[in-house]
Amino acid sequence: MNAEPIVRISNLQKWFGMLHVLCNISLDVRPREVDCIIGRSGSGKSTLLRCINFLEEPSEGEIEIHGLRIPAGGKGREHRRLVHEARLLTGMVFQEFNLFPHMTVLENVIEGPVTVKRMDRAKAIKLGEMNLERVGLSIKRDEYPNRLSGGQKQRVAIARALAMEPRVMLFDEPTSALDPELIGEVLNVMKKLAQEGTTMLVVTHEMGFAKDAADRVLVMAEGEIIEDAQPADLFAHPKDARTQALIDRYRSGGQ
């Protein structure tokens, strides 16, 4: 993949008080690339993802998304405008689904395009229906969230993020709140998006997904990227003992 990076992270640092959570992270993500980020809990994976769309304000460094450059630590109206633009370029899927319970599935999906992008409602409905079809939930468009399984709710959350037509999709452990029998349906949707060429950054404990669907696997430990390799190379020949420990846990059936 020789295209210019769609996401470029440069010298990113994040502190929470005295705790140094991200330590000088630099990372390029190219269009149509699927990058999985793995690591032990507390390694900085989710914080990195949340810094990319400024749900967490980075302490130092710079983030560039589709040519939009945002230095860390900015203040004032211009910084808020840049952050708003960055969020329009990124779709975020969280561990929890955060659907509006009083809205139907379709209403949840079109809420962003209508209220944030000021899209014509009829156009938003067509876009919403298309994205519900992408995640296999057209038949549930008029249901309310309390009538859905956890896997279906997360697929609606993916459709909602896709409806904003982002340049890159960010997934923060999207299956961790699901019962084991429901995880596969969400991973299958993500694999389909990968096959369609969706640019994706995925924080996950699902090593099988990382092995099968990723173009690159990034391993984080103590706020740093300690390995960055193609899945076949990483799983066959990890360079760091901490990576080997993660792989051993996966192979022994742990998470």
pLDDT tens-digit readout, 122-153: 999 999 999 999 999 999 999 999 999 999 99
Whole-number Å distance between alpha carbons of 163 and 125: 10
Q: How much is the pLDDT for 2?
A: 64
Q: How much is the pLDDT for 185?
A: 94
Q: Where are the alpha helices (DSSP H) in the chain?
A: 45-52, 76-89, 105-115, 121-134, 150-162, 180-195, 207-213, 231-236, 241-251
Tokens of 33: 């690339």
User: How much is the pTM?
Assistant: 0.94
Query: 188 and 5 in contact (C-beta within 8 Å)?
Result: no
pLDDT tens-digit readout, 89-110: 999 999 999 999 999 999 999 9
Whole-number Å distance between alpha carbons of 246 and 208: 12
Half-sphere exposure of 120 (CA within 13 A, CB side): 3
Q: How much is the pLDDT for 33?
A: 97
Of 89, 36, 56, 50, which Cα lies nearest the Cα of 213? 36
Q: How much is the pLDDT for 255?
A: 52
Q: How much is the pLDDT for 107?
A: 98
b/e map 59-88, b = 16+ CB within 10 Å: bebebbbbeeebebeeeeeebeebbeebbb
Of 23, 20, 25, which Cα lies nearest the Cα of 35? 25
Tokens of 12: 């990113």
Query: 236 and 250 in contact (C-beta within 8 Å)?
Result: no
Q: Are strands 90-93 and 168-172 parallel, antiparallel or unpaired?
A: parallel
Q: How much is the pLDDT for 89?
A: 96
Which stretches in the chain have pLDDT values below 70?
Answer: 1-2, 253-255
